[in-house]
Structure 1
Amino acid sequence: MAFSAGGSFQQGLSGLNAAQRGLEVIANNVSNASVVGFKGSEAEFSDVFARAFNGARSTNGIGLGTSLAAVTQNFKQGNINVTGNPLDLAISGTGFFKVQAANGDNIYTRNGQMGLNNEGVIVNSRGDRLQGFPIDATTGRPSDVAQSITVPRGNIPPAATRGGNLELNLDARATAIDPALTFDPGNLNTFNNSTSMTVYDELGGAHIMGIYMRKESSNDWSVFATVDGTQVDIGTSPVAVTTAPAQSTAASLQYGVDGLLVTPANANLTVDMSRFVTASGVPFSSTGVAPNQFTFDMSNTTQYGSSFVVQNLGQDGFESSPFAGFDVGADGMLTISYANGQLVKHAQVGLYRFPNPEGLQPVGSNGWLATNSSGPELVSLSEDTAFGIIQSGALEESNIDLTAELVAMISAQRVYQANSQTIKTQDSIFQTITNLR
């Protein structure tokens, strides 16, 4: 009978080493249990098997112990904790944020604790810049290239009125106005109904626009318009630019027997401001940035046998206004809000995922680098079902289950004690053999 004390000691020693490495992984998990977005690790072990010198397999060979095969990361979802801070971002589901380090490295993370630096750039606690896709002001779509997101804190520039909509009902029972009476906004006998709204010039100046409805016959109405008390031209197509016509033009509306608008067919009225000037003598289109005409949608006007009522007035112009705040939507859209109620889509935070996230290389601070093993990044700017959603004002907690880790710690301790016992037993046997006479 052959006895190999060296192999026995090696087996016990490998068991001790494996238990020690397992405890290190558990200790690291426990120490990061309160770290936002932390993903726990798991130690994986494999046996060590001895081969014959000629490479042949043995049917009754005994292994040489165990070894650490890999330490893998567990990317399961952590609990979501609501914080109320708009720059706390949590991912519910699959995906990573991408931040750019000072050295240019692209780092992927689940830690959504963000803030603004002194330049207004969204950064994490290390100063890494959150990457997003700027929104094109013309198309309203995100660009194709990700870059750092800077939150503008200045005033929103003014926008001149370029379109609007009217929703109202004209009383079909109203009496037609005598054609001999010329329209006069100061004479109530020359029109049936009126309403008003605020419109804006190119510099954000506010002006009161009056709209006057005059019944000509059973289903025919004329529409007149004034701005700050000055009558302006209005028509059913782009109005010819004039300076001082003898009589401002009016638009015609015709309704069918069902009370719905028939003419104009496109239901649009165009208002021309070319002969209107502000109180200081500045033309309405003072900057020359855009034409001085705008269009109102009248498709939701009716003529029923009930009282005149205005359901809604709307227009797209606004004055300059200070920054009020911002918000990040579930699709990652960062929207800036201003004191005048305007909302501007500024940038979209993308989510990234990988074919093999376990192949990502940890770099600390809850960050990973892409590798050949992880595969290329895949990005989504929509509510793709393969990706998660972003929850603003919340953070994803660590996915560590402390109870499970403590049980694993007890188990690893028992394994360590058992391997220590095998070494002690082998030592006792070896001592007995050496003491034989």
Structure 2
Amino acid sequence: MAFQQGLSGLNSSSKALDVISNNVANASTVGFKNSGTVFADAYASSLTGAVSKVQIGIGSAVQAVRQTFNQGNITTTSNPLDMAINGNGFFEVELQNGGYALTRNGQFNIDKQGYIITALGDRLMGYQVVDPISGDVRAPASVTADSFRTMVIPSTGVGAAATSEVGLSLNLSADAPTIPDPAPPALPGSVPPNPNDDSTYTYSTALKIFDSLGKEHSLSFYFVRRTDVVDAATVPPTYSEWDLYTVADNDTASLTYNSRLGFDGLGRIASVTPQVTAPGVTPPLNGSVFSATLGSDAIAPSVIELAMNSITQFGGKSTPRELTQNGSAPGEIAGLAISRNGVIQARYTNGITKDIAIVNLTTVRNNNGLSPIGNNYWVETPESGGFARGEPGNGLNGVISAGQVEESNVDLTQELVQMIIQQRNYQANAQSIRTQDQILQTLVNLR
């Protein structure tokens, strides 16, 4: 009996040593999860007809190898496509031989076809449903075969976009002197400023705009303060009026009286009276339009809405705060960035950014029910439950850390200590067997 128990202890120590050795060997593997052995007593049915129907002494057997899915340390890398999951969930990949697998190894690259792949060539899954209004990707209301797919980085860039909206955010000085309109019968705005003579206008600024071919043009604005208090009887009183003139591509021949701006006593824009119209285009509230033929855009004039709600009139200097426009030249992808919510954003050479994909995270009810298939991959089983797919940061899903990877959660120091302990146990069991063998040999030699 003692001999059998010694063999049992030797066998258990050997199996535990194998598990510890495997953990130590994989301690530096990205996404590897620690595992431990669950042992159970082994019994044999009695063949002697004794009262007890079972016999002890066979020892122990491995009942299960249970993995620990707690978080590993996060390490920064130089690859922008590397991703670490902070929290719950797995990356889901489509295997080359069919089927799907889960992994915590977030080391990804792009293949020649543009797919985001693992080191083994398996493709990362996610969402690439394009919003018809914004042109960016969005998460689908329900996961379908059309919305959930292998993600591919587009090989083409973005085309040119003609400017259709301009936003003016600036301050016009309330301290500026007025430059009155000429006396009647001349009409307001009939004597425009001279861009080459700064005494004929109060303030000027400019920004870049684009035609339908993506060619760059300049749009200049000339502001002329015409009057101070316009109507003190109104509530609140109307203070100051300004004329706005526009010039395209610094061509003084295109100088146009665009609109008259009125301000109230709080320095806010009170009214905009457009002087330029365009068929079928309604100016925005407190705004106007700009209409001109820009260079090679000869099919039709470019019509641009000018939003002026953010123009103010306070004391001090006339200064621009922000001049915006929605046009752009064509561009190619210059880089990628990934948000904590898994949104892959492409940065183009023309300065445009665009959301092109969303990384998916998959969870199961029972992580320990997953079946490991090697290469840090797991597949679902009836014990794990089915895949539940969703966006990072949604519900119980973790979030993404881009440019980082999750290291193995193996505590190397603890594993080495356990290995030493198991080795001592192994040696003690081996010495016990040796002693028992010597005693048996002495008994055999007795005559």
TM-score, reference length from structure 2: 0.80
After alignment, is 376-385 or 329-338 more displaced?
Answer: 376-385
> Quick check: 1:68 aligned with 2:62?
yes
Aligned partner of 1:349 among 348, 356, 359: 359
Aligned partner of 1:301 among 296, 311, 330: 311
> Quick check: 1:161 aligned with 2:163?
yes
1:399 shift after superposition: 1.6
Change (3 A) 1:15 1:264: farther
The CA distance in 1 between the partners of 2:306 and 2:98, in whole Å, is 50
Q: Paired residue for 2:105?
A: 111
Q: Paired residue for 2:153?
A: 151
The CA distance in 1 between the partners of 2:114 and 2:312, in whole Å, is 49
1:268 shift after superposition: 4.2
Q: Paired residue for 1:262?
A: 270
Per-residue CA deviation, residues 172-206 of structure 1 (Å, 9 max, x unaligned), is 34314315361435465764332211111222121
> Quick check: 1:332 aligned with 2:326?
no
Unaligned runs of 5+ in 2: 229-239, 274-283
After alignment, is 387-396 or 261-270 more displaced?
Answer: 261-270
Q: Paired residue for 1:227?
A: 248
Q: Is the 8 A contact 1:268 1:299 kept in 2?
A: yes
The CA distance in 1 between the partners of 2:314 and 2:364, in whole Å, is 61
The CA distance in 2 between the partners of 1:305 and 1:420, in whole Å, is 94
1:431 shift after superposition: 6.2
The CA distance in 2 between the partners of 1:407 and 1:57, in whole Å, is 44
After alignment, is 217-226 or 85-94 more displaced?
Answer: 217-226
Q: CA RMSD in A?
A: 3.4
Q: Paired residue for 2:39?
A: 45
The CA distance in 2 between the partners of 1:71 and 1:186, in whole Å, is 85
Q: Is the 8 A contact 1:337 1:343 kept in 2?
A: yes
The CA distance in 1 between the partners of 2:101 and 2:331, in whole Å, is 37
> Quick check: 1:125 aligned with 2:98?
no
Matched length: 410
Q: Paired residue for 1:25?
A: 19
1:230 shift after superposition: 6.3
Q: Paired residue for 1:277?
A: 293
Q: Paired residue for 1:240?
A: none
Q: Paired residue for 2:380?
A: 370
1:279 shift after superposition: 3.4
Aligned partner of 1:101 among 80, 87, 95: 95
Letter paired with 1:271: V
The CA distance in 1 between the partners of 2:6 and 2:107, in whole Å, is 45
1:319 shift after superposition: 0.4
Per-residue CA deviation, residues 225-283 of structure 1 (Å, 9 max, x unaligned), is 232356999xxxxxxxxxxxxx966333221111112225965424243xx32334623
The CA distance in 1 between the partners of 2:258 and 2:3, in whole Å, is 104
Q: Paired residue for 1:197?
A: 207
1:415 shift after superposition: 3.0
* Secondary structure of the corresponding residue to residue 321 of structure 2: strand
Q: Is the 8 A contact 2:340 2:392 kept in 1?
A: no
The CA distance in 1 between the partners of 2:51 and 2:207, in whole Å, is 92
Q: Is the 8 A contact 1:88 1:112 kept in 2?
A: yes
Letter paired with 2:28: S
1:374-393 mapped onto 2 (5 Å cutoff): 374-384=384-394, 386-393=396-403
1:155 shift after superposition: 3.0
1:306 shift after superposition: 2.7
Q: Is the 8 A contact 1:142 1:347 kept in 2?
A: no
The CA distance in 2 between the partners of 1:325 and 1:34, in whole Å, is 29
Q: Paired residue for 2:139?
A: 142
Unaligned runs of 5+ in 1: 234-246, 286-291
Letter paired with 2:413: T
The CA distance in 1 between the partners of 2:219 and 2:22, in whole Å, is 69
The CA distance in 2 between the partners of 1:252 and 1:372, in whole Å, is 73
1:222 shift after superposition: 3.1
TM-score, reference length from structure 1: 0.82
Change (3 A) 1:125 1:355: same
Q: Paired residue for 2:222?
A: 212
Q: Is the 8 A contact 2:78 2:403 kept in 1?
A: yes
The CA distance in 2 between the partners of 1:103 and 1:175, in whole Å, is 78
Q: Paired residue for 1:322?
A: 332
> Quick check: 1:35 aligned with 2:43?
no
Q: Is the 8 A contact 1:170 1:309 kept in 2?
A: yes
> Quick check: 1:177 aligned with 2:169?
no
Q: Is the 8 A contact 1:135 1:345 kept in 2?
A: no
Change (3 A) 1:96 1:268: farther
* Secondary structure of the corresponding residue to residue 393 of structure 2: coil
Q: Is the 8 A contact 1:202 1:284 kept in 2?
A: no
1:101 shift after superposition: 0.8
The CA distance in 1 between the partners of 2:296 and 2:105, in whole Å, is 55
1:315 shift after superposition: 0.9
1:413 shift after superposition: 2.3
1:432 shift after superposition: 7.1
Letter paired with 1:255: F
* Secondary structure of the corresponding residue to residue 261 of structure 2: strand
1:360 shift after superposition: 0.9
Change (3 A) 1:400 1:186: same
1:127 shift after superposition: 0.4
1:28 shift after superposition: 1.3
The CA distance in 1 between the partners of 2:397 and 2:429, in whole Å, is 45
* Secondary structure of the corresponding residue to residue 415 of structure 2: helix
Per-residue CA deviation, residues 334-383 of structure 1 (Å, 9 max, x unaligned), is 11112222111111112222221111110110111122222233334243
Q: Percent identity?
A: 38
> Quick check: 1:401 aligned with 2:380?
no
Change (3 A) 1:284 1:334: farther
